[in-house]
Amino acid sequence: ASFLLLCFRSPLATPLIFGLLLQAPLTQLSTITQPNFVLLLADDLGIGDVGCYGNDTIRTPNIDRLAKEGVKLTQHIAAAPLCTPSRAAFLTGRYPLRSGMDAVNDYRVIFWNAGSGGLPPNETTFAKILQQQGYSTGLIGKWHQGVNCDSRNDHCHHPLKHGFDYFYGMPFTLISDCQPAETPEMDRAFRRKLWLSTQMVGLITLTAVLGRVTGLISVQWKALTCLTGFSLLFFVSWFSSYGFVRYWNCIMMRNHGITEQPMVTDRTTSLILRESISFIERNKHKPFLLFLSFLHSHTPLLTTEKFLGRSRHGLYGDNVEEMDWMVGQVLDVVDKEGLKDTTLVYFASDHGGWLERQEGERQLGGWNGIYKGGKAMGGWEGGIRVPGIFRWPGVLPAGTVIDEPTSLMDIYPTVVHLAGGAVPQDRVIDGRDLLPLLRGTVAHSEHEFLFHYCGVHLHAVRWHQKDTGAVWKAHYVTPIFSPPGAGACYERGFCPCFGEGVTHHDPPLLFELSQDPSEAKPLSADTEPLFDTVIRKIGRAIEEHRRTLTPVPEQLSVSNVVWKPWLQPCCGMFPFCWCDKEGDN
């Protein structure tokens, strides 16, 4: 005791004690108020395309650095396997069918800037709550949540109506039609049918006219005039939309104004990066939210000359490596401005890679590693399991890997809580606050069940049995691969959610993902003693989940999805829509 007393009286004691106290591994959250948020969301990136998730041939050093300096999630799940519904869930923290942003038909995403469907104005995004908390909020890049409702300039679905102070990017999504030299991508099969029908109608009209002129067919000129008028009307009615896809959909906007129509793809990447850096620099003295929604790595894979031919995986690999470079540029600005320790950075993809996207021998879609399936498949892991990385030095433990079920919907309550806001109490929020899990103060995710939809059709359910660590997954509907055994729907281009292209399973296919993450060996009552117990448990969870659903307007109904000329954003006098304000500058 006398020795201890002597030590405390020593002149070295005070700095020694303070030094020990300062070596606490993590900062107390009570000392941090309103951190900045940089949310990085890739487009169509497969979980197998990133180095820290096992890829050793595509170079992603900056994304890998995020994982090394932060927390990597290995069961990070998208709420939908396609862009529009997945992003709606990300923004609202809710399954997309709760907001009407999932489809009952084959039109599972927003197809036109001039459609009337989109993220409903009564939905509350995390950006809107942060805006109310005093944050500067910016969205740079892809939106794909709709633009207008009733008129060309009502902007009811626009980012600025959903909590963002600043928007620069594409209100739609990148498609191959945006590149004049590329094969058209949008509604390709339907367009082929329309063109074939036009040729048939034209051939019938021409035959009737020739028959009337030569006297071989007795047809009145009045009937021929009507038939010719119908042929022209039929052609104009579809060509006015599909013939000008590049002008109608491939546009860039700054806030409500159009800056490029059509977009000049050669400079899109540099402009998006410039705008992202500028937003951080403009708002560095106050709390900000930057949502950088990449156009990478969606086709047509816009890649600058600097990165062409650099990877071992052709154009797709080049595009991913360029996106990783962009991530590095954004991180460098955060570091340079002294914001690293006060900024939560998040990186993810909106869903799995597109296996079927090919042009001849070229693979233009991503790779989903060991996981079965891909983009558009609502049940199989390859369509919904995505990278998920968080970095916040001093708050989140570096180099941590968490193998617990989490969701893109969890960003909503996590960000809102850290910003000092409160999630809405007048609706169901399906996301869960991830901070306790990320900091290691709890061992398990709050998610006991996750429901995997394909459109509005429930395809699979995941049950995390926390007492044993088992992750059970029951598939009630699976797509029929074409050709058989191919692992994707190559003959269709997309796997369907319903109809003749799916198989219904009764009893459902059951997998234990912690033992079989590739979903290669379905269990049965003969091979798994808990089979019936697990199926009953999941069945009860489905019943409870469905009781929380309420009818809402279908934002992706055919009437909302179709092109409406009076809603078309236009830089000029419709239909003469053209401008290049970036070039003018």
Catalytic residues: 83, 144
Those residues whose C-beta lies under 8 Å from the C-beta of residue 334, and which sit 6 or more positions away, are: 38, 280, 340, 343, 345
CA dist list (Å): 358 to 106, 315, 493? 21, 12, 9
Q: Cα–Cα distance between 61 and 82 in angstroms, integer?
A: 27
Q: Cα–Cα distance between 164 and 26 in angstroms, integer?
A: 31
- Answer yes or no: are the C-beta atoms of 497 and 457 closer than 8 Å: yes
State the sign of the Cα–Cα–Cα–Cα dihedral 463, 465, 471, 473.
negative
CA dist list (Å): 460 to 392, 454, 508? 33, 9, 9
Task: Output the six-digit token pair for 560.
Answer: 């909302």
Find the largest Cα–Cα distance for the chain. Answer: 126
* 3-class DSSP assignment, residue 68: helix
Q: Cα–Cα distance between 322 and 60 in angstroms, integer?
A: 9
Q: Cα–Cα distance between 508 and 237 in angstroms, integer?
A: 45
DSSP state of 176: G
- Answer yes or no: are the C-beta atoms of 400 and 25 closer than 8 Å: no
Q: Any idea what the Cα angle at residue 395 is, between residues 390 and 400, rounded to 5°?
A: 50
Alpha helices in 283-410 (DSSP H): 314-336, 381-384
- Directed axis angle between helix 221-242 and helix 188-214, to 10°? 160
Hey, what amino acid is at 543?
Answer: E
Report strand pairing: 166-170 vs 343-349.
unpaired
Total number of residues shown for the chain = 585
Q: How many CB atoms lie within 10 A of CB 250?
A: 24
- Answer yes or no: are the C-beta atoms of 330 and 377 closer than 8 Å: no
H/E element, 246: helix 245-249
H/E element, 258: strand 257-261
Q: Any idea what the Cα angle at residue 385 is, between residues 358 and 558, rounded to 5°?
A: 65
Left if phi > 0, otherwise alpha if psi is -120 to 50, otherwise beta: which for 580?
beta
Q: Cα–Cα distance between 353 and 375 in angstroms, integer?
A: 5
Q: Cα–Cα distance between 580 and 572 in angstroms, integer?
A: 11
Q: Cα–Cα distance between 245 and 41 in angstroms, integer?
A: 25
Chain mean position to CA 381:
15
